[in-house]
Structure 1
Amino acid sequence: MSDAASSHKNMLLSYEWLKEFIELKETPEEIARILTTLGFESAVRPANSGFSGIVAAKVVSKVPHPAADKLSLCEVSDGAATYKVVCGAPNVEAGQIVPLAKIGATVGGVKIKKAKLRGVESEGMICSERELGIADASEGIMTLSSAEAGRLGRDFAELYPPDFIIEVETLPNRPDILSHYGVAMELSAKLNRPVKPPAAAGDKIRPDGLLADVEPTLLAGNTPGCESYTAVALDDVAVAESPEWLKNRLRLCGYRPINAAVDITNYVMTEMGHPLHAFDRDKLSGGKVIVRAASPGEKIKALDGKTYDLGESDIVIADGAGAACAIAGIIGGETSAVSSSTKRILLESAVFNPQRVFAARRRLKISTESSYRFERGMSKARSIAACQRAVELLKNLCSARPSAIVDHGAGLPKNKIAVFFEKILSHTGVNIAETKVRGILAALSFEIVREEKDFIVVEPPSFRRDIFLQEDVIEEIIRVFGYDNARFDSAPAPIPDGSFAADRRRFDFVSSARRFLASAGFVENVNYGMIAPGWFSYFDEKLCVKIINPVSPEAAALRPSIFCQMWECFRANLGEGYDSQMIYEIGNIFYDGAQTRSLGLLASGNVFGDNWKKASLDADFYFLKGILEKLSFFACKDIRPEFAVDSGASNPPGGAKTPDFLAFGINIISEEEHIGRIGPVAPSLALAAGAKSPVWWAELNVDILAEKPRRNPIHKQYSVFPASSMDFSLMVEEGIPFGTIKDNILRVMGDEAHLVESAAPADVWRSPSGETSVLVRITLRHPSKTLDAASLGSLHGKITAGLTQIPGLKLRA
Structure 2
Amino acid sequence: MTISYNWLHDYLPVTIEPERLSKLLTSVGLEVESLEKYESLKGGLQGLVIAEVLAAEKHPNADKLTVTKVNIGSGDPLQIVCGAPNVAAGQKVVVATVGTTIYPKKGDPLTMKIAKIRGVESYGMICAEDEIGLSDDHAGILVLPADVKVGTPAAEYFKPYTDYIYEIGLTPNRMDAMSHRGVARDVCAYLSYHDNQDLKVKALPVGDFKTENTSVPITVTIENTNACQRYSGVSIANVTVKESPQWLQDKLRAIGQRPINNIVDITNFILHETGQPLHAFDADKITGKKVLVKNLPEGTPFITLDEKERKVNAEDLMICNGNSEPMCFAGVFGGQHSGVTASTKNIFLESAWFNPVDIRKTSFRHGLRTDAATRFEKNVDISNTVNVMERAALLIKELGGGSIASEVIDVYPNPAKQPQVQLKYAFLTKLSGKSYPAAAVKKILVALGFTIEKESAEEILVSAPFSKPDIHLPADIVEEIMRIDGLDNVEIPQAITISPSVETDRNKHIYREKTANYLVGLGFNEIFTNSITNAAYFDEQELSTAVKLLNNLSADHNIMRPSMLQTGLEAIAHNLNRKNNDLRFFEFGKTYSTSGPGKYSEHEHVCLYITGQVTEDAWKGKGTTADIFYGKGIVARILQLTGISRASFAPRAEGGNLVNALQVTINKDVVAELGVVTSQELKRFDIKQPVFYADLDFELLLKYISATSIKAKELPRQLPVRRDLAMVVPKSLPFADVESTVKKVKLDKLQSIQLFDIFESEKLGADKKSLAVSFTFLDEEKTPTDKDIDGMMNKIMNALETNLQAEIRK
1:184 aligns with 2:184: yes
Q: Is the 8 A contact 1:52 1:105 kept in 2?
A: no
CA contact (8 A) 2:364 2:555 kept: no
CA distance in structure 2 between the aligned counterparts of 1:740 and 1:492, rounded to whole angstroms: 62
Asked if the contact 1:274/1:386 (under 8 Å) is kept, the reply is yes
| Residue from 13, 16, 32 that aligns with 2:4 | 13
Q: 1:129 to 1:143 in 2, by over 3 A?
A: farther
Equivalent in the alignment of 1:598: 605
Question: In the alignment, does 2:646 pair up with 1:642?
Answer: yes
CA distance in 2, matches of 1:345, 1:605: 63
Deviations 1:653-687 (A, max 9, x none): xxxx9989687865455xx8979324556999899
Counterparts of 2:310 and 2:741, CA distance in 1? 64
Distance 1:246 1:398 in 2: 13
Counterpart-to-counterpart distance in 2, 1:400 and 1:105: 51
- Matched position secondary structure for 1:405: coil
Distance 1:521 1:53 in 2: 59
Letter in 1 for 2:19: E
Q: 1:437-456 counterparts in 2 under 5 A?
A: 444-445=448-449
Q: CA RMSD in A?
A: 7.3
Match of 2:381 in 1: 379
- Structure 1 residues 266 and 532, CA, compared in 2 at 3 Å: closer, same or farther? closer
Whole-angstrom CA distance in 2 between matches of 1:493 and 1:739 = 58
**Contact 2:233–2:409 at 8 Å: present in 1 too?**
yes
The equivalent of 1:677 in structure 2 is: 672
Structure 1 residue corresponding to 2:36, chosen from 44, 50, 53: 44
Per-residue deviation at 1:599?
0.2
Matched, 1:627 2:627: no
SS of residue in 2 equivalent to 1:41 = strand
Instruction: Name the aligned partner's letter for residue 20 of structure 2.
Output: E
Give yes or no for contact 2:220–2:292 (8 Å, CA) kept in 1. Answer: yes
Partner Cα separation in structure 1 for residue 738 and residue 423 of structure 2: 62
* Cα gap change, 1:525 to 1:448, in 2 (>3 Å): farther
**1:494-534 C-alpha deviation (Å, 9 max, x unpaired):** 87953x665x8756654543342133244545433335387
CA-to-aligned-CA distance 1:301-355 (integer Å, 9 cap, x gap): x7xxxx835545388877779998878664687988588x999765443345668
2:163 counterpart letter in structure 1: F
- Tell me whether 444-453 or 559-568 shows the greater mean CA deviation: 444-453
**CA apart distance, 1:385:** 2.5
2 CA distance for matches of 1:682 and 1:246? 57
Amino acid at match of 1:290: V
User: Is the aligned partner of 1:22 residue 2:21?
Assistant: no
The verdict on how the C-alpha distance between 1:558 and 1:166 changes in structure 2, with shifts beyond 3 A counting, is closer
Question: How far did 1:41 drift?
Answer: 2.0
In the alignment, which residue of structure 1 is the partner of 2:797? none
- Structure 2 residue identity aligned to 1:642: R
Alpha-carbon shift at residue 44 of structure 1 (Å): 3.0
Task: Tell me which residue corresponds to 2:291.
Answer: 290
Q: Residues 562-616 of structure 1: CA distance to partner in whole angstroms, max 9, x if unpaired?
A: 3454467779999999999754322112246432321023568975577858996
Matched, 1:699 2:696: yes
Cα distance in 1 for residues equivalent to 2:261 and 2:579: 60
Quote the residue 1:528 is aligned against.
530
CA contact (8 A) 2:3 2:168 kept: no
Q: Is the 8 A contact 1:227 1:353 kept in 2?
A: yes
TM-score using structure 1 length:
0.58
- Answering whether residue 581 of structure 2 is matched by residue 589 of structure 1, we say no
Shift of 1:54: 10
Deviation at 1:260, TM superposition (A): 7.2
Query: 2 CA distance for matches of 1:418 and 1:494?
Result: 31
* One-letter code aligned to 1:13: S
Q: How far 1:262 sits from its partner (Å)?
A: 6.6
Structure 1 partner of 2:79: none
Matched, 1:516 2:518: yes
Moved more, 317-326 or 25-34: 317-326
Task: Find the aligned partners of 1:269 and 1:466 in 2 and give their Cα distance.
Answer: 20
8 Å contact from structure 1 (residues 216, 405) kept in 2: no
Q: Is the contact made by 1:633 and 1:713 (CA closer than 8 Å) also made in structure 2?
A: no
Greater alpha carbon shift after TM alignment, 583-592 vs 287-296? 287-296
Q: CA deviation at 1:165?
A: 1.8
- Distance (Å, rounded) in 2 between the aligned partners of 1:237 and 1:578: 59
Q: Where do 1:221-260 residues align within 5 Å? A: 221-222=223-224, 228-233=230-235, 249=251, 252-253=254-255
Q: 1:739 to 1:274 in 2, by over 3 A?
A: farther
Q: Distance in 2 between matches of 1:241 and 1:556?
A: 41
CA shift for structure 1 position 13: 0.7
2:164 aligns to what SS in structure 1? strand
Tell me, in whole angstroms, the C-alpha distance in 2 between the residues paired with 1:726 and 1:204: 102
C-alpha separation between the residues in 1 aligned to 2:583 and 2:250? Answer: 61
SS where residue 385 of structure 1 aligns? helix
Q: Equivalents in 2 of 1:224, 1:778: separation in Å? A: 79
One-letter code of the match for 1:389?
A: R
Provide closer, same or farther for how the CA distance between residues 472 and 230 of structure 1 changes in structure 2, counting only shifts above 3 A.
same
Kindly indicate whether the alpha-carbon contact (under 8 Å) linking 1:431 and 1:488 is maintained by their aligned counterparts in 2.
no
Q: Following superposition of structure 1 onto structure 2, how do residues 761-772 of structure 1 map, counting pairs within 5 Å?
A: 761=753
SS of structure 2 residue aligned to 1:207: coil
CA distance 1:266–1:159, change in 2 (3 Å): farther
State the 1:390 CA deviation: 3.4
Equivalent residue letter for 2:201:
P
Q: What percentage of residue pairs aligned between the two structures are identical? A: 23
Do residues 274 (structure 1) and 276 (structure 2) align?
yes
- Distance change in 2, residues 1:605/1:337 (3 Å): closer
1:805 aligned partner = none
Q: Structure 2 regions of 5+ residues with no counterpart? A: 51-81, 87-91, 103-110, 113-124, 595-599, 724-735, 757-772, 789-810
Query: 1:700-719 residue pairs with structure 2 within 5 A?
Result: 700-701=697-698, 705=702
Secondary structure, aligned partner of 2:2: strand
Change (3 A) 1:289 1:640: same
3-state SS of paired residue (1:349): strand
Q: Are 2:285 and 2:337, in contact at CA under 8 Å, matched by a contact in 1?
A: no
Corresponding residue of 1:207:
210
After TM superposition, the structure 1 = structure 2 runs for residues 789-808 of structure 1, keeping only pairs within 5 Å, are: none
Shift, 1:700, TM fit: 3.4
3-state secondary structure, aligned to 2:307? strand
CA–CA distance in structure 2, aligned partners of residues 550 and 668 of structure 1: 37
Alignment of 1:121-160 (within 5 A): 131=132
How big is the shift at 1:43?
0.9
Equivalent residues in 2 for 1:52-451 (5 A)? 131=132, 164-169=163-168, 171=170, 173=172, 176-193=176-193, 196-200=200-204, 207=210, 211=213, 213-222=215-224, 228-233=230-235, 249=251, 252-253=254-255, 265-276=267-278, 288=289, 290-291=291-292, 308-311=307-310, 313=312, 330=333, 337=340, 346-351=348-353, 373=375, 378-391=380-393, 402=404, 404-410=406-412, 430=433, 433=436, 444-445=448-449
SS at match of 2:407: strand
Q: Secondary structure at the match of 2:647?
A: strand
**Structure 2 Cα separation of the partners of residues 400 and 231 of structure 1:** 16
Relative distance call for 1:357 and 1:265 in structure 2 (3 A) is: same
Distance 2:418 2:720 in 1: 81
CA deviations over 1:744-766 (Å, ceiling 9, x no partner): 97xxxxxxxxxx9x9435899xx
Change (3 A) 1:23 1:343: same
Amino acid at match of 1:676: V
Aligned to 1:121: none
Return the letter of the residue paired with 1:596: H
Q: Secondary structure at the match of 1:197?
A: coil
Q: Judging changes above 3 Å, is the alpha-carbon distance between structure 1 residues 716 and 108 closer, same or farther for their aligned structure 2 residues? A: same
- In the TM superposition, residue 28 of structure 1 has moved relative to its aligned partner by 0.3
Over 3 Å counting, the alpha-carbon distance change for 1:244 and 1:476 in structure 2 is same
